[in-house]
Structure 1
Amino acid sequence: MSLGDERETSGGYGGTGQTRTRLPESSGDVYGGARRGGRSSSRSLVTVVGVVVLLIAAIAFANRGEDDSASPNGDENQPKSSTTAATGTRPVDGKAAGIPGGFRRDEQGAQSAAANYSVALGSADMFNTDRRHEIVNTVYAPDVAAKRQADLDSAYASEKFLTNIGLGTDGAAPTGQTFISRVIPVGTKTTSFGTGAATVEVWYTSLFGLSGEGSTNPVAESWYTTTYELKWVGNDWKVTDFQQKDGPVPVGRDQQASTADDMTKAVEEFGGFTYAR
């Protein structure tokens, strides 16, 4: 008989808060239970011994963990908990052009900025001229934004590029299809930091393609790491340069791909986040 069978406390009877206790079945003698004192004592003793054994094992395991971490033979490549754990610090209080802004002037702020900027720079909005200009002027430092703007306009306006990914010359998706371009950061890492400049790596997965009937470029998943060069400008972190490389790429699971309708609904219905470090 399970613990749930012996005691039922949620709700009681009609919400009265009373506890209903279901007693073990007897052999028919309603008073027979009073003669089982010895058996109850044995069970209690076994329970106490079991708890003590578990407690000793837990203490030994904890001590072993402390010894290993202090041992020179431990894994020096193992990251510290502070390296990968969330800081618990709120990243920003406001936004500019729909992009989180006003990050802290520390490593946590630089990493949060890089993560959120990568989402904006990898979004489908970059294929709209007006929106692209807003994004670039928001995330890039003023002294490099103009040049970057021209480079990006040239790339995104390329008819060959747009045709290869299935979009029209205006950057719009064909009728009946939805263009999807999303970046989802998995983690960030600071490789250099100063009060006026920082280098941050963002590891992320991206979704890119067209969902809908007749799509020749279905939505696919990719993995990249982008290294952002940031500098402190106007009380915020701004991008000055970046480099992208493939991976690390995990092994894909054997899952059935969703239908075009399911993918379209997911992108339309599931909103994004403000990413914090």
Structure 2
Amino acid sequence: MATDFQRQARRARLRLAGIGFVVLAAVAGGTITFISMGDSGGGSPSADSKNTPSPSFSVSSAPPPGTELTPATGRRISLLKPTTNTEGIGRGFEHSTMGAWSAAVSFWQDLNIIDDVVAEKQWKAIASKDSQSTIDRGVSEVRKVREGAGLPPSGGAPEGVGFSTHVRALNIRGLDTSGDVVQVWMVYDRFAVLRDKGGDQNPKKGETAYLILKWEGSDWRVTDEPQYKNKLTGPQPYHPDSKPAFQDGWREIANG
């Protein structure tokens, strides 16, 4: 006979599948905002797009003479591998444009979006020491998702339910002249994984999100400090066949 916990977990699994699996859709200054699969995504960011990368973090946007490149036809980015792992999230990337790109993708793909206990440990591992609010708001949003899915406010995912996140394209902007603070925009797909059904269910594709990363000590950290949030800008809308998107700095990931 099923216990109350088993029945509760079963109901939560069904609700997660029914709403299309609640997903991380955007980052606001290093914190997370959640929307359901029923919401539209992939639209143009509303922020101003006039800011340019700092000299240390510039991306060559002018296509070679005689060519009109797009993200799909331009050179793809081969990301770096993490050198360390904390609470299931890859870390330890070099102080460079490639390092920032790689850190952002590693964080975004590895963050747990349904287990608040794991999520809190992960946010603590990647948040700047100057940005405690990043951790607090991140954990709070995970708990809101759990409640919306009929789960207890704190705990793990129901048995047999998982998720996967896949970043496909990137854009980077510098937020200071040193190159130590950047915003990395990402286009990604997210899937709910119901293991008893096989494969990925209810995919959410073409979502756009960003992280503000700050070089702190010897690693990239997520921050939402006001002095950086106030400088946030939005890039051109991403499309693989868009020449303006390529010229604005969008690059696809190798094997992405």
The TM-score bracket by the shorter chain reads 0.5 to 0.7
Alignment of 1:1-277 (within 5 A): 70-71=65-66, 74-75=67-68, 78-79=70-71, 84-87=75-78, 90-121=80-111, 123-124=112-113, 126-129=114-117, 131-144=118-131, 146-158=132-144, 161-174=145-158, 177-192=159-174, 194-208=178-192, 212=196, 219-223=201-205, 224-241=207-224
Cα distance in 2 for partners of 1:106, 1:165 equals 39
Question: Which of 1 and 2 has higher RCO (CA within 8 Å, sep 6+)?
Answer: 2
Which consecutive residues of structure 1, in runs of 5 or more, have no partner in the other structure?
1-67, 251-274
Which consecutive residues of structure 2, in runs of 5 or more, have no partner in the other structure?
1-62, 241-253
Distance 1:92 1:155, change over 3 A: closer
Cα distance in 1 for partners of 2:154, 2:72 equals 48
Q: Is the 8 A contact 2:186 2:209 kept in 1?
A: yes
Answer with 196-205 or 105-114: which moved more. Answer: 196-205
Q: Residue 20 of structure 1 aligns with which residue?
A: none
Q: Is the 8 A contact 1:165 1:209 kept in 2?
A: no
Q: As a proportion of its length, which structure holds more helix? A: 1
Q: Is the 8 A contact 2:166 2:188 kept in 1?
A: yes
Question: Alpha-carbon deviations, 1:53-108, whole Å to 9, x = none?
Answer: xxxxxxxxxxxxxxx9633xx53x53597x64234x74332223332222111100
Deviation at 1:238, TM superposition (A): 0.9
Question: Alpha-carbon deviations, 1:105-142, whole Å to 9, x = none?
Answer: 11000000000010122x25x5232x222101111111
Cα distance in 2 for partners of 1:94, 1:231 equals 18
Question: Which secondary structure state, in structure 2, belongs to the residue aligned with residue 152 of structure 1?
Answer: helix
Output the amino acid matched with 1:142.
K
Distance 1:84 1:171, change over 3 A: farther
Output the amino acid matched with 1:202.
M
Distance 1:151 1:92, change over 3 A: closer
Instruction: Find runs of 4+ consecutive structure 1 residues off by over 4 angstroms.
Output: 209-213, 242-245, 247-250
Cα distance in 1 for partners of 2:64, 2:138 equals 48
Taking only the aligned residue pairs, the percentage that are identical comes to 19
Question: Alpha-carbon deviations, 1:163-201, whole Å to 9, x = none?
Answer: 432434444455xx4222221111222233743111211
Output the amino acid matched with 2:182.
A
Q: Residue 31 of structure 1 aligns with which residue?
A: none
Cα distance in 2 for partners of 1:70, 1:249 equals 22
Provide TM-score, normalisation by structure 2. 0.53
Cα distance in 1 for partners of 2:214, 2:65 equals 37
Deviation at 1:207, TM superposition (A): 1.2
Cα distance in 2 for partners of 1:188, 1:179 equals 28
Question: Which secondary structure state, in structure 1, belongs to the residue aligned with residue 140 of structure 2?
Answer: helix
Cα distance in 2 for partners of 1:80, 1:212 equals 35
Computed over aligned residues only, the root mean square deviation of the Cα atoms, in angstroms, reads: 3.8
Answer with 100-109 or 185-194: which moved more. Answer: 185-194
Distance 1:198 1:211, change over 3 A: same
* Max Rg structure: 1
